[in-house]
Amino acid sequence: MASVTNRASSKLKTFLSILNKTAPRTYFTNVKELTQVIKGKQPVWIPADEATRVFECMKSGNTVFSQGAAATPQFLLHAMTEYGKCHQLKGITVIHMHTEGKAPYTEPEMKDIFRSVSTFMGSNVRKAVADGRGDCIPIFLSEIPKLFYRKIYQPDIAVVQVTPPDEHGFCSLGTSVDCVRAALLNSKIIVAQVNKQLPRTFGDSSIHISHIDYAVCVDIQLPQHGGKPPTDNEKKIGKLVADNLVANGATLQLGIGSIPDAVLASLHNHTELGIHSEMFSDGVVDLVYNGCVTNSKKTFNKGRTVGSFLIGTQKLYKFVDNNPTIEMLVVDHVNDPKLICQQPNMTAINSCIEVDLTGQISADSIGTRMYSGFGGQVDFIRGAGDSIDGKGKPIIALISSTNKGETKIVPTLKVGAGVVTSRAHAHYVVTENGIAELFGKSLTQRAYALINIAHPNHREALEKAAFERFKVMPSQ
């Protein structure tokens, strides 16, 4: 028996070795390029009250990239909007991931000047997209950097937020690395909002001041999210996931929202957890301080909490500032399913808008109305589902009904709703009413499992719909 175990262990090590050699590692060369010193070059420093001067290089028809999440350079984006309006520019594309704060360039009066293109939509651009003044790109988070490397979008100007330079001249991209490095490497001009309130982070976040062409100093608080206590239903979901699906020593990915935060709040009795996630928020901080998150079992990035972008409260920003145990890495590394599957007990926890009775999951739209984007859900659902140790858990968690009492477990998705995670990818669906394990189940078995975790008020109607669809009653 021991020899069989040893042979299996040997095969696993060989497979890991092959994956490590073949996995894309281009982000290391990207880091090197932006951290090289350009001899004799310094940015042009513009006073904050003259910030519109930064955009004298902007022309009609240009493409502008904006950094996002907590590091959204809101001050400069307002200056950009003002400059474009005053100089009657036309046809400027603003491409970005999830941005925070107001997006003045999406206002109706700006429709001929700017057009927002989101790779993941925030609430500030939804109306513009719905009204046709903006657009969005359906894309996996891990593949957004390819838009820049393949020159599908080549920014004339990149607008970012950085920390002040240290004694060696290095700034940090702070809370948002994600696709930013790819955009910077392929931008003609780099404009920076230099903010001393931006946390200095490690990993792939360094950029030497000599790469910045124009800089404006500000002293502005970062946008904040979260900090609210979970609802009773969110607590139930958090406890169900924590007690039944998260093992000690698991590596966690958590999407954005109150449900992932509720899961974190229920993990205080767990040990040796790791974090490998495109983003994380405040809930991780307490788990680290309580000794629950050690990152000691991870296959790589041992001892370090890995993210790609952050959004939270001041508590989170203070925690990550100058903290060498936090690594902010490019999203084509963090979200690479070939790397995700190597982490032990990889447990991916994401949310959605609705699930149909076969397990199709819509997360980016409400019917035809675009709401967010693919994000990292599929990257991590696939990575966890393909886990090399066979212990990965891809989880979709949602409250069973809307605030208006409508069911989120539906006979069929709304007309026009996009399938983000296919029914073949769906393994676990969790509501406040229980856990539906879908992997390996037939259509009628899936329907039975999902109806049992739907809101009780809707189960009879769902049973009727299932019978009409499958011609038999859903069965266990």
Q: In what order do the strands lie in the sheet with 409-410?
A: 361-362, 354-356, 409-410
460 is catalytic: no
Please give the backbone phi and psi of residue 89, each rounded to the nearest 5 degrees, phi first.
-75, 165
Helix (H) or strand (E) holding 284: helix 283-289
Cα distances (Å, whole numbers) of residue 383 to 148, 186, 314, 386: 24, 29, 31, 5
| Contacts with 48 (C-beta within 8 Å, 6 or more apart), sequence order | 75, 216, 217, 218
Coil, helix or strand for 149?
helix
Give the residue carrying structure tokens 């924590």: 242
| Contacts with 364 (C-beta within 8 Å, 6 or more apart), sequence order | 138, 353, 370, 371, 372, 373, 374, 375, 418, 420
Residue environment code for 377-395, b if the CB has 16+ CB neighbours within 10 A, otherwise e: bbbbbbbbbbbbeeebbbb
Coil, helix or strand for 438?
coil
Quick one: how far is CA 375 from the chain centroid? 5
Say if CB 193 and CB 159 are below 8 A apart.
yes
Q: What is the CA radius of gyration of the chain?
A: 23
Q: What is the dihedral of CA 296, 297, 298, 300, to 10 degrees?
A: 70
> Residue 268 is which amino acid?
H
> Considering 100, 143, 272, 278, which one is annotated as catalytic?
278
> Which is nearest to 97 in space by CA: 147, 59, 131?
147
Q: Which residues are identified as catalytic?
A: 278
